[in-house]
Amino acid sequence: MELTFNQAAKGVNKEFTVNIMDTCERCDGKGNEPGTKVQHCHYCGGSGMETINTGPFVMRSTCRRCGGRGSIITNPCVICRGAGQAKQKKRVVIPVPAGVEDGQTVRMPVGKKEIFITFRVQKSPVFRRDGADIHSELFISIAQAILGGTARAQGLYETINVTIPPGIQTDQKIRLSGKGIPRINSYGYGDHYIHIKIRVPKRLTSRQQSLILSYAEDETDVEGTVNGVTQTSTGKRSTGN
């Protein structure tokens, strides 16, 4: 059974139809057409067993005439042809528990039979799953990374306002406790980990360009060089244009 990421994470009631062999509903498993009489098997006296005398031994076995039924059907049921069992289409509602994982199987009674259902959980374009924990990425600007701030991230249950501390690094994780998937074998929820990605702008306004050059002039811990910034012979940096 195919489930979306969110259905598996939050749980869902899934309806589907199965074809199973079960007690014939038309004859209620008796095998004769409803309203018709069933003949008592005179061969076994209705016991369904016959006694075979083989010299010194007396064997009891299933009556060959009635097949152990004890009665003879003269008007077999039109649905099951007297078998008492028929293929039936059944609508089943499966309460898929929240937190079900890809490949997990559940057992489910359908009529007098049991069926096994294996879940296939689709991938999410937003979330990655690790048990009850979920992971997602959040892109922030350079200024947000340096100065801190807030950003909106898609959560499993709602949109989340994430507080970004000043000086956050790329790939740093922000843990949102209890915002993950319900734990299927215990209590509580997993966590939501937001992986920070810093978006570097490809185009700058001329003002941003001059500001970033000024910023670069004051940078002291640079390995190598910065385009547009040259180091003077005195060790001080100045703009090259």
80 contacts Zn ion (rule: CB under 5 A):
yes
β-pairing verdict for 105-110 and 113-118:
antiparallel
The two structure tokens encoding residue 2: 């195919």
73 contacts Zn ion (rule: CB under 5 A):
no
- List the end-to-end C-alpha distance of the chain, in Å, as a whole number: 65
We find the least distance from the C-beta atom of residue 40 to Zn ion, in angstroms, to be 9
Region of 10-18, 63-71, 132-140, 209-217 interacting with Zn ion (CB under 5 A): 63-71
79 contacts Zn ion (rule: CB under 5 A):
yes
β-pairing verdict for 57-62 and 49-54:
antiparallel
> Measured between alpha carbons, how far is residue 58 from residues 50, 53, 69, 107 in Å?
10, 5, 21, 45
Nearest to 222 by CA among 204, 235, 206: 235
User: Radius of gyration over alpha carbons of the chain, in Å?
Assistant: 37
Region of 19-27, 107-115, 118-126, 127-135 interacting with Zn ion (CB under 5 A): 19-27
Region of 8-16, 58-66, 87-95, 114-122 interacting with Zn ion (CB under 5 A): 58-66
Closer to Zn ion by Cβ: residue 39 or 231: 39
Three-state secondary-structure class, residue 103:
coil
26 contacts Zn ion (rule: CB under 5 A):
yes
24 contacts Zn ion (rule: CB under 5 A):
yes
We find the least distance from the C-beta atom of residue 89 to Zn ion, in angstroms, to be 15
Q: How far apart are CA 210 and CA 228, in angstroms?
A: 10
The answer to whether 144 and 199 have CB atoms below 8 angstroms apart is no
Give me the 27-56 binding string for Zn ion, x by CB under 5 A, dash otherwise.
Answer: x-------------x-xx------------
174 contacts Zn ion (rule: CB under 5 A):
no
DSSP assigned state of 187: S
We find the least distance from the C-beta atom of residue 53 to Zn ion, in angstroms, to be 17
Q: Which of residues 116-155 bind Zn ion (CB under 5 A)?
A: none
**Which residues of the shown chain bind Zn ion in the complex (CB under 5 A)?**
24, 26-27, 41, 43-44, 63, 65-66, 77, 79-80
